[in-house]
């Protein structure tokens, strides 16, 4: 504080704070040369000269000593000076004001940018030219599902918030586990944080999905305020790759159960009114964490529930309020498709009866919000098998069938890789969709070629828009 007070009488308080943090004393800077300040302490030449002028206000003016004058002559000069009329102080004319003011837009662009950088440096704020800011170049993190990555331009955005919303048993948490498993497989140094607000994390299920528990931190406090405090410390001091909050609907704030912040006895009754408490809490959370997540390039994914409403035009709404919808960069709503898509299998019961039981269903992921792509409202269906999870292989095969990578003729399907495996059997055609999927799943060489074809098809669709005409003057084929 002493150094800060010493500097504050010479320079702006923000500049004084920086100089005090560097342990620089005014007398040391005053005695140093311009070259030494630039090379040793990192000053700019203009900044060093400006500080030197403030520390040495009389150094730039040359003083000339004159011989002492007789007292009589000095008295006459003082009397004459006192008789002189004072200078006329009036307002500047419009002409003089126009002549002295220069429109900054008339200056060259390089000079204007130089002035802007100087202002940004003097202010001490995080302001810079957009092309020089690395914070704007955020990347993507795969969801672990190729079909969903295609709709999200590569996956979840890094350094921003993403939201997964859905009803019960619609693969919300499973989608987050697949994201972690995929990232840990690609990056051995990946470290994730899982905030288990529901107290529902299953270690065995996570291992089955490919998650490395050695590189996963579980946060399980009772109160949400304490949970986010610990997450903030982890982001600042540990630097995790990503954070999963499961889920918003289970967050419990201290205002909901305690009279005071230091009260640990949970004295509020369950009948107390807590309308919009979660929404208010989340608004404060987003305002606090948005710059933190961006600075540390943390992939932050929140999971929430979908609840039924009384609105006939909007029958379902996510828990968490409108602030969550505004702050989320990407929103994915999950649901399970029911009906003919649910797969049944005949199972013999212990009493000898044979019954049809559901063994799989399709998880449908709908893109409800994206800030950078035109896939809002698009859906992708991914098979879920009980005991195993979401099938990445089946999702790629479904994409290949839908895109036409696997050729279809009625109920018959073929592909060059399938023809190579069949070696002329049935002329290289497979009868039935389920039989085709089973064949591709059993032969890795077929799946590899199909995955390559899906990637090429997706790249071609990105380069040629649907409404744009081809070079031959004809509409581009879909």
Query: What pLDDT, on the 0 to 100 scale, is given for residue 94?
Result: 56
**In the predicted model, is pLDDT for residue 17 greater than 90?**
no
CA-to-CA separations, 379 to 127, 318, 365, 367, in angstroms, rounded: 39, 18, 6, 6
Cβ contact 433:439 at 8 Å: no
Based on the domain organization, do 222 and 337 belong to the same domain?
yes
pLDDT-wise least confident of 40-49, 94-103, 347-356: 94-103
- Band of the pLDDT at 126, cuts 50, 70, 90? low
As a whole number of angstroms, the distance between CA 26 and CA 6 comes to 7
| Averaged pLDDT of the chain | 79
Locate 146 and state its tokens.
């190729």
Query: What pLDDT, on the 0 to 100 scale, is given for residue 182?
Result: 94
More confident site: 277 or 461: 277
In a domain, 74, yes or no: no
Closest CA to 437 of 401, 409, 410: 401
More confident site: 32 or 265: 32
Based on the domain organization, do 254 and 267 belong to the same domain?
yes
Based on the domain organization, do 26 and 150 belong to the same domain?
no
As a whole number of angstroms, the distance between CA 145 and CA 453 comes to 16
As a whole number of angstroms, the distance between CA 196 and CA 221 comes to 8
Task: Count other C-beta atoms under 10 Å from residue 416's C-beta.
Answer: 12
**In the predicted model, is pLDDT for residue 71 greater than 70?**
no
CATH number reported for the structural domain that contains residue 413 in this entry: 3.30.250
- Band of the pLDDT at 84, cuts 50, 70, 90? very low
φ/ψ (deg, to 5) at 121: -70, -40
Closest CA to 169 of 398, 362, 321, 378: 362
In a domain, 13, yes or no: yes
Query: What pLDDT, on the 0 to 100 scale, is given for residue 275?
Result: 67
Last residue of a domain, one of 363, 390, 417: 390
pLDDT-wise least confident of 208-212, 223-227, 355-359: 355-359
H or E segment and range at residue 364: strand 354-370
In a domain, 68, yes or no: no
Based on the domain organization, do 299 and 161 belong to the same domain?
yes
Query: What pLDDT, on the 0 to 100 scale, is given for residue 478?
Result: 35
As a whole number of angstroms, the distance between CA 245 and CA 301 comes to 6
pLDDT-wise least confident of 194-198, 304-308, 370-374, 417-421: 370-374
Q: Mean of the pLDDT values across residues 362-379?
A: 85
Query: What pLDDT, on the 0 to 100 scale, is given for residue 78?
Result: 47
Cβ contact 297:158 at 8 Å: yes
As a whole number of angstroms, the distance between CA 102 and CA 165 comes to 56
Based on the domain organization, do 395 and 337 belong to the same domain?
no
Based on the domain organization, do 368 and 286 belong to the same domain?
yes
More confident site: 271 or 454: 454
**In the predicted model, is pLDDT for residue 70 greater than 80?**
no
Percent of all residues in the chain with a pLDDT value above 70, rounded to a whole number? 78
Based on the domain organization, do 372 and 443 belong to the same domain?
no
φ/ψ (deg, to 5) at 207: -65, -40
Query: What pLDDT, on the 0 to 100 scale, is given for residue 255?
Result: 78
Q: Mean of the pLDDT values across residues 243-255?
A: 88
More confident site: 122 or 252: 252
**In the predicted model, is pLDDT for residue 36 greater than 80?**
no
Domain region containing 326: 136-390
Based on the domain organization, do 110 and 185 belong to the same domain?
no
Query: What pLDDT, on the 0 to 100 scale, is given for residue 234?
Result: 96
CA-to-CA separations, 304 to 103, 192, 245, in angstroms, rounded: 53, 19, 9
In a domain, 89, yes or no: no
Based on the domain organization, do 262 and 334 belong to the same domain?
yes
* Count of domains forming the chain: 3
Based on the domain organization, do 103 and 224 belong to the same domain?
no
Query: What pLDDT, on the 0 to 100 scale, is given for residue 65?
Result: 43
Query: What pLDDT, on the 0 to 100 scale, is given for residue 224?
Result: 86
Cβ contact 343:356 at 8 Å: no
Query: What pLDDT, on the 0 to 100 scale, is given for residue 463?
Result: 42
Q: For helices 34-41 and 45-55, give the axis angle rounded to 10 degrees.
A: 130
Helices vs. strands in the chain: H and E counts, helices first:
19, 16
**In the predicted model, is pLDDT for residue 348 greater than 90?**
no
Using CB atoms within 10 Å of the CB of residue 94, give its burial: 0 to 12 exposed, 13 to 18 middle, 19+ buried: exposed
More confident site: 398 or 171: 171
Long-range contact pairs involving 374-378 (C-beta distance under 8 Å, separation at least 24): 375/151, 375/152, 375/153, 378/151
Query: What pLDDT, on the 0 to 100 scale, is given for residue 175?
Result: 95
Q: Mean of the pLDDT values across residues 220-230?
A: 88
CA-to-CA separations, 292 to 135, 156, 180, 239, 300, in angstroms, rounded: 12, 17, 21, 11, 11
Q: Mean of the pLDDT values across residues 104-132?
A: 78
Q: Mean of the pLDDT values across residues 38-44?
A: 75
Q: Mean of the pLDDT values across residues 337-352?
A: 69
């Amino acid at each position: 504080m002493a150094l800060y007070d010493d500097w504050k009488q010479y320079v702006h308080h923000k500049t004084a704070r920086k100089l005090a943090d560097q342990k620089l004393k005014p007398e040391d800077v005053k005695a140093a040369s311009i070259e030494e300040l630039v090379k040793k302490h990192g000053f700019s030449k203009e900044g060093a000269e400006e500080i030197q002028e403030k520390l040495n206000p009389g150094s730039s003016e040359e003083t000339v000593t004159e011989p002492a004058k007789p007292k009589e002559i000095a008295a006459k000069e003082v009397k004459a000076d006192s008789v002189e009329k004072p200078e006329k102080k009036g307002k500047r004319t419009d002409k003089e004001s126009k002549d002295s003011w220069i429109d900054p837009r008339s200056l060259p662009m390089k000079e204007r940018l130089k002035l802007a950088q100087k202002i940004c440096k003097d202010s001490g704020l995080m302001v810079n030219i957009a092309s020089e800011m690395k914070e704007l170049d955020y990347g993507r993190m795969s969801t672990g599902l190729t079909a969903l990555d295609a709709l999200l331009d590569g996956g979840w955005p890094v350094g921003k918030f993403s939201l997964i919303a859905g009803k019960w048993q619609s693969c919300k948490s499973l989608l987050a586990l697949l994201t972690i498993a995929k990232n840990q497989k690609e990056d051995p140094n990946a470290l994730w944080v899982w905030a288990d607000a529901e107290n529902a994390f299953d270690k065995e299920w996570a291992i089955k999905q490919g998650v490395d528990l050695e590189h996963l931190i579980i946060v399980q406090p009772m109160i949400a305020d304490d949970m986010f405090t610990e997450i903030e410390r982890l982001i600042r001091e540990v630097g995790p790759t990503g954070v999963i909050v499961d889920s918003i609907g289970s967050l419990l704030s201290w205002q909901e159960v305690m009279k005071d912040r230091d009260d640990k006895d949970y004295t509020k009754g369950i009948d107390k009114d807590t309308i919009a408490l979660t929404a208010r809490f989340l608004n404060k959370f987003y305002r606090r964490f948005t710059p933190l997540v961006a600075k540390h390039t943390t992939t932050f994914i929140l999971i929430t529930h979908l609840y039924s409403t009384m609105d006939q035009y909007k029958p379902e709404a996510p828990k968490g309020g409108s602030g969550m919808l505004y702050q989320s960069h990407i929103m994915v709503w999950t649901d399970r498709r029911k009906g003919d898509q649910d797969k049944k299998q005949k199972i013999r019961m212990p009493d000898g009866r044979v019954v049809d039981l559901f063994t799989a269903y399709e998880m449908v992921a709908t893109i409800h919000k994206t800030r950078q792509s035109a896939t809002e409202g698009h859906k992708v269906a991914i098979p879920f098998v009980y005991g195993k999870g979401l099938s990445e292989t089946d999702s790629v095969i479904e994409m290949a069938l839908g895109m036409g990578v696997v050729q279809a003729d009625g109920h018959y399907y073929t592909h060059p890789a399938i023809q190579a495996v069949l070696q002329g059997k049935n002329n290289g055609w497979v009868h039935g969709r389920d039989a085709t999927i089973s064949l591709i799943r059993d032969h890795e060489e077929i799946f590899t070629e199909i995955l390559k074809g899906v990637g090429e098809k997706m790249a071609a669709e990105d380069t040629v828009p649907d409404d744009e005409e081809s070079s031959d003057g004809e509409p581009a084929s879909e």
